[in-house]
Amino acid sequence: PFGATMRAAVLSALGAAALAAGAEAVRPGAVGAIGDALAAEVAEVKADLASDWRTARTTIEGIQAEVDAELAKPAEDGKQHWALLMAGSNSWGNYRHQADVYHAYQIFKRAGLDDDHIVVFHYDDIANDSENPTPGQVINSPYGNDVYPGVPKDYTGLDVTAANFIAALKGDADAVKGGSGKVIASGAKDKVFAAFFDHGGPGILGVPAGTGPYIYANDVNDALKSKYEAGGFKELTFYVEACESGSIFDGLLPANISTYVTTAANPTESSWGYYCPGMNPGPPKGYNTCLGDLYSITWMENVDSLDSAKKETLLEQYRIVKQLVSQNHTYRQGSHVMQYGDLSIDSERLSAFIHGSAKEEDEEVPARAAAPNPTVGEGIAQRDADLHSLYHVYLSKPEGSAEKKAAFKAFLAESTRRAELDR
């Protein structure tokens, strides 16, 4: 552009000088006049260009300074999204809980959330269990794809403890022992989504066998309160799959700490397993265990079926899940899905929590191929699901084989243990 401007200025100067000197006869001295005029025009153009360049440089430097200032701001100046996911069980009979966690992880990855903002607890013993008909893969429904790829191994095996879960929820990196050390390091502008999948009882949530004491209701609520009071989040949503899961929050969770909770069951009932052997719908051939939990696969398949997570509110999803889990409010099977805490949050869209760190909540979230929402089919009470799986493992083994004898022994041991607990 500068060269074109110069050429135009030179031509203009030559033309003006030529006209002044006479178009047909150039008088003595005319060439000198043309040269003087040209020199003056060139000098003027150079001066203009120098001024324009100084202005442009000043503008560019100003923009660069603004960009540098933005990049230098600490991360907490911008809103972030976080996810905490835990499966509190181990063993093949509890396959469904870790499958639930892996499915949840894939939902957040599709939404654009980076692994450094997702903390995952899972014992990690089902993908390569000898009973798995597709080694190295995990499915959460008869219609679904492998949900195991890419799942972070933040806390696995004996590191899946109550203490580590509470520390991760609070964002207390100094309190965790083992694992990756990742915690929910959220700030006052951030939104957090937590999800738990396992067995439970009045006032307790389970942990994998052999990893230590249970997670207690008071510890969960104290962690939520202290994190809120410390400016640890703007809003937090917590979905809990467990028997008697309502007892963790009923009468304990304040309504004024910007925390919204839904649970699979009320304080006194079982939650339910789903996609179980011998039931309709059941797992694919070769699977002798339940693939998922009714409440959990219902809310996750609901997310999967949406074109965008911004098209449904938390309340709309709650009503859909409640209807399906209750078998259209008949409760022939299923449980009472509950809400606790700050219910004003349920007017927000799912995309307010199921989203990536660097995206705005009104952006589209990529959808996966829609899985069917569960029909009102057959489920099994959570506490019976383990025994149901052990029985189907036994049925799947060849008659007279050592594997069948071992499966029967495991089934008998669990039956005996349950009988003793019922006394």
pLDDT at residue 284, rounded to an integer: 94
Which pLDDT tens digit goes with each residue over 168-183?
999 999 999 999 999 9
pLDDT band for position 376 (50/70/90)?
Answer: low
Instruction: Give me the mean pLDDT over the 290-309 stretch.
Output: 90
- pTM strictly above 0.85: no
Instruction: Give me the mean pLDDT over the 338-349 stretch.
Output: 97
Which pLDDT tens digit goes with each residue over 1-26?
444 444 454 445 445 444 444 444 44
CA distance 239 to 271: 13
Lowest mean per-residue pLDDT among 7-11, 199-203, 237-241, 416-420: 7-11
pLDDT at residue 365, rounded to an integer: 42
Instruction: Give me the mean pLDDT over the 304-311 stretch.
Output: 79
- Residue with tokens 């899946």, as numbered in its chain: 160
pLDDT at residue 45, rounded to an integer: 57
| Identity of the residue numbered 252 | L
Instruction: Give me the mean pLDDT over the 180-208 stretch.
Output: 97
Lowest mean per-residue pLDDT among 88-102, 214-228, 305-319, 332-346: 305-319
pLDDT at residue 401, rounded to an integer: 83
pLDDT band for position 60 (50/70/90)?
Answer: low
Give the residue numbers annotated as catalytic, written as ranges: 199, 243
pLDDT band for position 148 (50/70/90)?
Answer: very high
Q: Is 235's pLDDT higher than 80? A: yes
pLDDT at residue 26, rounded to an integer: 42
Q: Is 409's pLDDT higher than 60? A: yes
For residues 160 and 50, the model is more confident at 160
pLDDT at residue 408, rounded to an integer: 73
For residues 113 and 413, the model is more confident at 113
Instruction: Give me the mean pLDDT over the 315-343 stretch.
Output: 92
Lowest mean per-residue pLDDT among 96-110, 152-166, 296-310, 351-365: 351-365
Q: Is 163's pLDDT higher than 60? A: yes
Q: Is 68's pLDDT higher than 60? A: no
Lowest mean per-residue pLDDT among 52-66, 81-95, 141-155, 401-415: 52-66
Mean pLDDT of the chain: 82
Q: Is 334's pLDDT higher than 60? A: yes
Instruction: Give me the mean pLDDT over the 368-387 stretch.
Output: 55
pLDDT at residue 145, rounded to an integer: 94
Lowest mean per-residue pLDDT among 59-68, 75-84, 340-349: 59-68
Instruction: Give me the mean pLDDT over the 220-224 stretch.
Output: 98
pLDDT at residue 389, rounded to an integer: 60
